[in-house]
Amino acid sequence: MPEVVWGDGLVAGLNRNINLKQKKHMGLLDRFFGSGSNKEKKKIRAQFKNEKYFKKEIKRCDEWMNNDKEDFEKYIKKHGKLMDIHYVNACKIRLQKIENMYSVGESPVKLKDSYKEVLDYFLKGYSENYKDNLLALEIVSFCKLLNFNQKELNKIIDFINKWENNSKIKDIYKPCSLLYYLLDKEVIKRKSYKPIEELYQITQQPKSEAEISIKKYLDNWYSMHKDEPWYNSHLRDSGYSGYWAWEVAAVVKVKGLDDTGFKDNPYYPYDMVHWEDKK
């Protein structure tokens, strides 16, 4: 019957149009709410800035890093070799990139791959003028948090030993007690930058007491660093890579503390401590 054939065709055509509209509608919903079949969207970890900002910062770091090779070659050609400050600055810009990667939501696994170059430049940056405890502390903290092997840690220990035995710098500029604690070496006690010294004192407390102290320490962590060049950097157009207490996270991991009471603190990089928990 022609009418039936025509009617079936029309119905089929209408159904196809409805299905296409439904698929289009579902596609729009997926864009807004996500889909189980798509990759999980990264969660921005840092405060104050969005994904666009951190990606721009990562690109800025990449451009700086790409210029390193050419600049270094020119300097070596003119002066014969690089200065220690070249290596230290190369280390710092790569470290800044990693901080931005963490802030934008990248996996610590990906950070570990990028960190190898950071460590390499840091180790090459030693000189008799070296006295930066904050940089060394961040380097060691990342090594502990990313589970680098003892071979890599031994390279840092060699660096620390040379620094410790350097008679040309004052005692206050030598490796801080917290560095020795994190590296599981015999601690040389000395006065240092107040926030570092205070954190070291917490490491000497029993676990239950240290967990309470760490919570209070994190509550004041940002204000304790008001003299640092990165303080309030989120108010600038560039240069902010997140505010993260890497050294606190390293202490929590090394000492085996329960971080339940402060895991949501905005300065505590929780994922860096627990990224291997699900393995």
- pLDDT of 108-142, one tens digit each? 999 998 999 999 999 999 999 999 999 999 999 99
- Domain assignment present for residue 8? The answer is no
pLDDT at 5 over 70: no
Residue 86 has pLDDT above 60, yes or no: yes
**Residue 268: which domain range?**
47-274
* Other CB atoms within 10 A of residue 153 CB: 17
pLDDT at 112: 93
Q: How many domains does the chain fold into?
A: 1
Q: What is the pLDDT of residue 6?
A: 35
Token pair, residue 157, equals 């220990």
Inside any domain, residue 71: yes
Structure confidence by residue, pLDDT tens digits, 94-106: 999 999 999 999 9
pLDDT tens-digit map of 12-45: 443 444 444 444 444 444 444 444 434 446 799 9
Q: How high is the pLDDT of residue 279?
A: 59
Question: Are 187 and 180 contacting, i.e. CB atoms less than 8 angstroms apart?
Answer: yes
The residue written with tokens 């009617």 in the block is: 7
Q: Is residue 162 part of a domain?
A: yes
Residue 23 within a domain: no
Separation of alpha carbons 205 and 194, rounded Å: 17
Q: What is the Cα–Cα distance from 68 to 73, expressed in whole angstroms?
A: 8
Q: What is the DSSP letter of 43?
A: P
pLDDT at 1 over 70: no
Contact 244, 264 (CB under 8 A): no
**pLDDT per residue over 142-200, tens digit each?**
999 999 999 999 999 999 999 999 999 999 999 999 999 999 999 999 999 999 999 99
**C-alpha to C-alpha distance for 75 and 72, rounded to whole angstroms:** 5
State the Cα torsion 132-134-139-145 to the nearest 10°: 160
The pLDDT of 249-271, averaged and rounded, is 98
Which phi and psi angles does 54 have, rounded to 5°?
-65, -35
- Predicted confidence at residue 42, as pLDDT, reads 74
How much is the pTM? 0.84
The span from the CA of 207 to the CA of 205, in Å, is 6
